[in-house]
Amino acid sequence: MKEAIRERAKELGFNDCRFTTAETPASGSKLQQWLGEGMHGEMGYLERNAPKRLDPQQVLPGAKSIITLAVSYARGDTHSEAGAEGCRGGGSRSTAPSGFVARYARYDDYHKVIGERLKSLTQFVDHVSGATARSLWYIDTGPILERDLAQRSGIGFIGKHTNLISRKMGNWLFLSEILTTVDLKPDAPEKNRCGSCSCCMTACPTAAIKAPFQLDARRCISYLTIELKGAIPIELRPAVGNRIFGCDDCLAVCPWNRFAGEAHMMKEHQRSDLDTPDLMALLDLDDAGFKRRFAGSPIYRLKRKGLLRNVYVSLGNVADESILPALEKAAGNLDPVLSEHAGWAINQIRERNKKAAPP
C-alpha cells in the first residue's frame, strides 16, 4: 500500500512522499519554551493551537499514520544565488527602485496548486485503504508540527535556520501532510547534517537566528513583512533593504541547495512579474489595481496596506530624491501606520543624500 501511495504521489507531481506515525513529536517541549519566551511575536494562533500541535490525535482522532510530502519550488538558478543584497552587509542598496519577493511567492498561491493534488491523493489513500479509513490533509494551514514530522519521516532534516533541508532538494520546499487512520509502516527518520556550517546564521540581516535551531520570529524579515500587521520596528527597518515580501537570505546560502533541481509542479505557475517588481509602480496601485495584480498570489494576503508599508520602507532604503514628491504625498495618508512609514522613508533618503553630498 505504501508503494502504491508513493507512486500515485509521484504521478501527481510531488517530489517526495514519506511515512511516519501519528505519535506526539519529540520537540513539543521546545515549542512550549519558544512560545513561553514570546518569540512567536503576534502569531497568536501558534499559541492557541499549541495543544493540537503537540498531539495529532486532537487533530484527527484515531490517526495512526501521517504521510508527509514535499514539493520543490527551486528554479534553475536558485542553487547559485547568494541571497538578497542584505546578505552581503546591512541592507540592499540600489539606484533602481525595485523590490525583492521571497522565491516561494513568485508563483501562484501554492495552497491552491498543491491543494488540488493533495486532495486527489487523500481520496486515493482512502480508496485503497477501505471504506472505514478517514484522512485529513493540510498545506501548512493545520495545527501540526510539519517540519518535525517531515524529519521523522525522512524527507529531510531541520537546519540551524529552523527550515527543513532535503539532501535531494535543498531547502526550497513546500511541505504538506495527510493524517490518516490507516496503519502504515513508518520510514526511517533523517538525522541532522548541518555539521559545523553556520552560513544561514551569518547571512541573517537582523540576527534573528539567535542560536543554532533557534529563531526569534520578532526579528525575522519574513515575519516583519508578512505576519506583523502594525509598524515595523524602526531599528530593524534599514536591514529590511528592498524586501517587500519575505526574505530568503538564510535559505539561499545553504550549501545543500547545490542539489536542488528545477521545480516541475510549480514551474507552469511562475510569476515572472514578481522577480524584480518596480517599487514606484506598486506605490501607484489603488485597491482595484492591487486586487488585479495580486489575486491568486501569496502577496494578496498582505492587502494593499501591508504592501504599501513594506514599499515605503524599501524606498527609504534604496531610492533617491526623485521619489520624494510621491512619498511626501503618501505621508499625508490618513492611516497613521502608512503615514509614519512614509515619513521615515523621506528622512532616510534625505539623510543618505546629505552624507553623499560633496563638502
Catalytic site residues? 140
Helices (H), the chain: 2-12, 28-36, 44-48, 50-54, 110-129, 146-153, 199-203, 221-222, 237-240, 249-252, 279-283, 287-294, 303-318, 324-330, 336-356
List b or e across 161-180, with b for residues whose CB sees 16 or more CB atoms inside 10 angstroms: bbbbbbeebbbbbbbbbbbb
**Are 169 and 224 contacting, i.e. CB atoms less than 8 angstroms apart?**
no
Burial of 359 (0-12, 13-18, 19+ CB in 10 A): exposed
Residue 92 one-letter amino acid: S
Of the candidates 306, 303, 296, 288, the one whose C-alpha atom is nearest the C-alpha of residue 244 is 306
Write out the three cell numbers for 342.
512614509
Burial of 238 (0-12, 13-18, 19+ CB in 10 A): middle
Residue 301 one-letter amino acid: R
Rounded distance between C-alpha atoms, residue 165 and residue 18, angstroms: 15
Helix (H) or strand (E) holding 66: strand 65-72
Residue 211 pairs in a beta bridge with 214
Rounded distance between C-alpha atoms, residue 61 and residue 179, angstroms: 10
**What is the phi/psi pair of residue 10, to 5°?**
-65, -40
Neighbours of 295 (CB within 10 A): 11
**Are 165 and 175 contacting, i.e. CB atoms less than 8 angstroms apart?**
no
Helix (H, G, I), strand (E, B) or coil at 301: helix
